A and B are shown apart, each in its own frame.
Chain A
Amino acid sequence: MSISGWRSAPVLLGIVSFAAILLLWESVVRLGWANPFFISQPSAIADSLSRAARSGELWNNLEVSLREFAIGYGASVVVGILAGALAGRFRIVEYVVDPFLWFLYSAPLIAFYPIFVLWFGLGVPTVIAITFLLSVTQIAANTLRGIQSVNPGLLRAARSFGASERDLLWKVVLPASVPMVIAGLRLGIGRALMGVVVGELFGATAGLGFSIAYYGALLKTTDMIASVVVIVVLGVLCTQALSAVEARFDSWRTGPG
């Protein structure tokens, strides 16, 4: 009883803090202490959201952004895990891939955006390419690290009990590296979302990032912040979902490490 009470305290305080922020925001504007042109206000944003939802604009933008996200991220999951696994299994692949991975990992990849526009044209394909590139490096790097961090003792033990390469992969290496891989997938989601939004900011005709840029250019702060709110919610939902998956896959571990 006391434990559940203790656990719910952070959640309760979190809800309180969100409510307080919204209340403060709304009242500061209502009392005339801040200019709603700049910071808008929660009630106006809620209005804007419900209007966008009724007119179908919200769903249209959401659909465009989610499709780009799904294609870019989906491709990066397949390619990233495959590349990471190959590099983790074969030394030589690791050494070959390593400098490029490092470069891509530390380079501000969005700076390649104008080149992608040259290659793929303005719009959806470029957004997908940016999304893919941003998340694939994270996923590949994490998969590689996950496989490298498999306890060599486990491998030796399995080998000495006559495990084949195939058994090693499926029964030792993959399960042991799953937590790292899933952490990569979670971090990759954040980067993919960044790719979608920024790609759309620069050049798109629809999508959540586009609508932020569009309303920003028109100085319609309320509609702009409404789109940002949708992106925040999307980001939190995605990260939470992957965190839940992560916790589940990691639950079989009993001891530390």
Chain B
Amino acid sequence: MPIPSSKYRVLVSTIAVLVFLGIWEIAPRAGMVDPTFTSQPSRVFAASLVIVPSGDFLHDVSVSLSEFAIGFALAVGFGVPLGLLLGRFPVLRYLLDPPIMAIYATPHLALLPIFIVWLGIGMQSKIAVAFVGGVIPILVNSMAGVRGVERSWVTAARSFCAREWDVFVKVILPASLPGVVMGIRLGVSRAVLGVVVAEMYQSQAGVGNKIMLYGSEFRTDYLLFNVLLVSVFGFTATWAVRALEEKLWTAGK
């Protein structure tokens, strides 16, 4: 029963995407829309053949990727321990919760111009935006992960004379892992967004820089290829973390 329905699902989804691509390809050819504004799948593909072999492309991708990697690694390295700590100690949490929530409710990209003033238009400001974007969901969900740990497990461990440290490492840490990973998943997309938008705002290199450049040159096909590239990266990264997440959930059951 589930197998045919999932096959049907894939079929319908594939047809929908193909129809979309078909209309996108045919409409400009039929003169219904101006290809300057919409481009076409074939043109985007042709653009990819021009862009990818050029040395510029490798440079842009490596700049963007390293900004993301550094910013996100900092976000994980800082957000997870702090989140676990805040989840464990309520007084600390009450103290820091309001400012954290205020930052969580704010569009973090509004801080972009401040980072530019502080850190300049180079890679540092992008790393900072990726960090701020990633760290908040990681922190909040790690905190929630610790708070969601079944109390009876902690009590059980204590009644078997586990020390505070043992309780933390052997009970709380593994039990809060799904929350931590969920935070990481939410953080990934925000960090990717942060890097790209920061590069679009003001930068010297990077995929976001090219998106803005091609946009101002009306080269829709080049622009769309870069947008697609970022989307695929964001999608893959999120998907990878989600796969890890599902594994953890089933392992936890």
Q: Which residues of chain B are near A17, meaning CB under 8 Å? A: 94-96, 98-99
Of A107, A113, A212, A216, most buried by chain B (CB within 10 Å of CB) is A107
Q: Is the C-beta of A128 less than 8 angstroms from some C-beta in chain B?
A: no
Q: Which chain B residues border A99 with CB–CB below 8 Å?
A: 13, 16-17
Complex contact B102–A96 (CB within 8 A): no
Question: Which of B12, B116, B238 has most chain A Cβ within 10 Å?
Answer: B12
Contact for A106 among B9, B200, B238, CB less than 8 A: B238
9-residue interface stretch from A41-49, A155-163, A165-173, A196-204: A196-204
Q: Are B231 and A118 closer than 8 Å at their CB atoms?
A: no
Chain A contacts for B200, CB-based, 8 A: 110-111, 113-114, 202
Chain B min CB distance to A191 (Å): 8
Selected contact of B214 from candidates A15, A98, A114, A231, CB within 8 Å: A114
Query: Complex formed: what's the CA distance from A71 to B37 in Å?
Result: 24
Q: What string of 1s and 0s marks CB contacts (under 8 Å) between B79-111 and chain A?
A: 000000000000100111111011101111111
- Decide if B215 touches A231 in the complex (CB within 8 Å): no
Indicate whether B76 reaches chain A with its CB closer than 8 angstroms: no
Task: Report how far A115 CA is from B220 CA in the complex, Å.
Answer: 7
- A235 close to chain B: CB less than 8 A: yes
Query: Residue on A with the closest CB to B234?
Result: A106
In which size bucket is the chain B interface?
35 or more
- For residues 91 through 131 of chain A, which have their beta carbon under 8 Å from a beta carbon of chain B? 92, 95-100, 102-103, 106-108, 110-115, 117-119
Checking A38, A108, A215, A217 against B234 with a beta-carbon cut-off of 8 angstroms, the contacting residue is: A108
Contact flags B199-231 to A (C-beta < 8 A → 1, else 0): 011000000100110111010100110110011
Once the chains bind, are B227 and A95 in contact (CB under 8 Å)?
no
Instruction: Tell me if B139 counts as interface (CB < 8 A to partner A).
Output: no
CB-CB < 8 A to A95: which residues of B? 8-9, 12-13, 16
Chain A residues near B197 (CB-CB < 8 A): 108, 110-111, 198
CA distance A190 to B186 in the complex (A): 14
Complex Cα distance, B16 from A119, in Å, reads 24
Q: Kindly state the interface size class of chain A when it binds its partner.
A: 35 or more
Q: Contact between B215 and A198 (Cβ–Cβ < 8 Å)?
A: no
A68, B188: Cα distance in complex, Å: 28
In the bound complex, residues from chain B placing their C-beta under 8 Å from that of A152 are: none
Complex contact A236–B102 (CB within 8 A)? yes
Q: Is B165 part of the binding interface, using a Cβ–Cβ cutoff of 8 Å?
A: no
Minimum CB–CB distance for B62 against chain A, Å = 18
**Chain B residues, CB < 8 A from A113:** 200, 215
Report how far A10 CA is from B105 CA in the complex, Å. Answer: 19
Tell me whether A31 is interfacial, beta carbon within 8 Å.
no
Residues of B contacting A194 with CB < 8 Å? 107-109
Does B16 contact A103, Cβ atoms closer than 8 Å? no
Contacts of A9 in B (CB 8 A): 94
Say whether A107 contacts B235, CB under 8 Å.
Answer: yes
Contacts of A212 in B (CB 8 A): 110, 113
Query: CB-nearest residue of chain A relative to B197?
Result: A110
- A111 CA / B193 CA spacing, docked (Å): 8
- Is A56 in contact with chain B by the CB < 8 A criterion? no
Task: Determine the chain A residues whose CB is within 8 A of the CB of B214 once the complex forms.
Answer: 114
For chain A residues 49-89, which have a beta carbon within 8 Å of chain B?
none
Contact B109 A198 (CB under 8 A): yes
Q: Residues of A contacting B235 with CB < 8 Å?
A: 102-103, 106-107
A106-B239, A235-B107, A236-B102 are known; give 4 further A-B pairs, CB within 8 A. Answer: A106-B238, A108-B197, A110-B109, A217-B113
Spell out B's residues near A (CB within 8 Å). Answer: 8-9, 12-13, 16-17, 20, 36-37, 91, 94-99, 101-103, 105-114, 116-118, 189, 192-193, 196-197, 200-201, 208, 211-212, 214-216, 218, 220, 223-224, 226-227, 230-231, 234-235, 238-239
A selection of 27 A-B contacts at a CB cut-off of 8 Å is A14-B98, A97-B16, A98-B13, A99-B13, A106-B239, A108-B192, A108-B230, A110-B197, A112-B227, A114-B223, A115-B37, A115-B223, A115-B227, A118-B218, A197-B107, A198-B110, A201-B109, A201-B110, A201-B112, A212-B110, A212-B113, A216-B117, A217-B113, A228-B114, A232-B102, A232-B103, A235-B105
